Structure 1
Amino acid sequence: MTDMGQPLFDDAAGPLVRPYAVTRGRTMGAGHELDMLTLVVTVTPGPRLRYLEPEYSEIVRLCRDAQSVAEVSAHLNLPLAVTKILVGDLITEGLLNFRSPATSDFDNGIAVSDDLNILQAVLAGIRKL
């Protein structure tokens, strides 16, 4: 047992609250396609935070300025999968807005650009070599 005021973690053992406890046992998010590069920002004025867990209020505080999901994960010191679930909960509640990164079309694992001018410039540069 810990005394009042002592942290619930041990440097050697890590946090005593396991990630599955933070997400209440969930392994899937609220259906939002969140990438590690997805930007999230707090909605102002936003609805009242209904969650009591400290991770949720910390995410809302961190996202006053736009943050990527990876940055939020690093600040919280939580696995990315856990952070995606928590951020998804806040998006569903209307507390966060999100913008997914621009996607590229892929053909056999190689990104295909829609801008033919860029491809022509690259080809011209290669020919000069």
Structure 2
Amino acid sequence: MVRPYAMTKGRTRPVGQEFDLIALVVSDVADSAEPGVGPEQGLILDLCRNNALSVAEIAAETDLPLGVVRVLLGDLLAAEYIRVSRPVPPAMLPDEHILREVINGLRAL
């Protein structure tokens, strides 16, 4: 078994921004045998190919600690092997009052 710090080369934080647990990851790589991709990163690429998975789901599927998955995802994102869709901040979501008005308007039709 490889120790987590060996997989991440001793790093504890991903390159760039931190990944939310619910951020969706999709692989843009057709073959996980890309140069410079380790076995754990290859597994992540295989899991996310044509299938958007959250960071939490990737950690569960790979049976790796969440911190390790975040560092590996940071490396894959920097190499442009994956795309990450971040969740919408609550401040940008529509107000509940507006949604209720829309529902009431539709019911009135």
TM-score range (shorter-chain normalised) is 0.7 to 0.9
Residues 44/24 of structure 1: CA separation in 2 closer, same or farther (3 Å cut): closer
Residues 68/57 of structure 1: CA separation in 2 closer, same or farther (3 Å cut): same
Residues 120/37 of structure 1: CA separation in 2 closer, same or farther (3 Å cut): same
Runs of 5+ consecutive residues of structure 2 not aligned to the other structure: 102-109
Q: How many residues align?
A: 100
CA distance in 2, matches of 1:63, 1:80: 16
1:62 maps to 2:42:
no
| Large movers: runs of 4+ above 3 Å | 118-121
Alignment of structure 1 residues 98-117 onto 2, 5 Å: 98-105=84-91, 114-115=94-95, 117=97
Taking only aligned residues, the RMSD between alpha carbons, in angstroms, comes to: 2.5
Residue identity opposite 1:22 in structure 2:
M
CA contact (8 A) 2:18 2:70 kept: no
CA distance in 2, matches of 1:52, 1:95: 10
Alignment of structure 1 residues 1-129 onto 2, 5 Å: 16-43=1-28, 49-64=34-49, 65-105=51-91, 114-115=94-95, 117=97
- Percent same amino acid among aligned pairs? 39
Larger radius of gyration: 1
Residues 99/19 of structure 1: CA separation in 2 closer, same or farther (3 Å cut): same
CA contact (8 A) 1:113 1:119 kept: no
What TM-score does the superposition give when structure 2 sets the normalisation length?
Answer: 0.77
Higher relative contact order (CA 8 A, sep 6+): 2
CA contact (8 A) 2:29 2:45 kept: no
CA distance in 1, matches of 2:18, 2:39: 24
Residues 104/51 of structure 1: CA separation in 2 closer, same or farther (3 Å cut): same
CA distance in 2, matches of 1:54, 1:44: 15
Report which of the two has the higher share of helix. Answer: 2
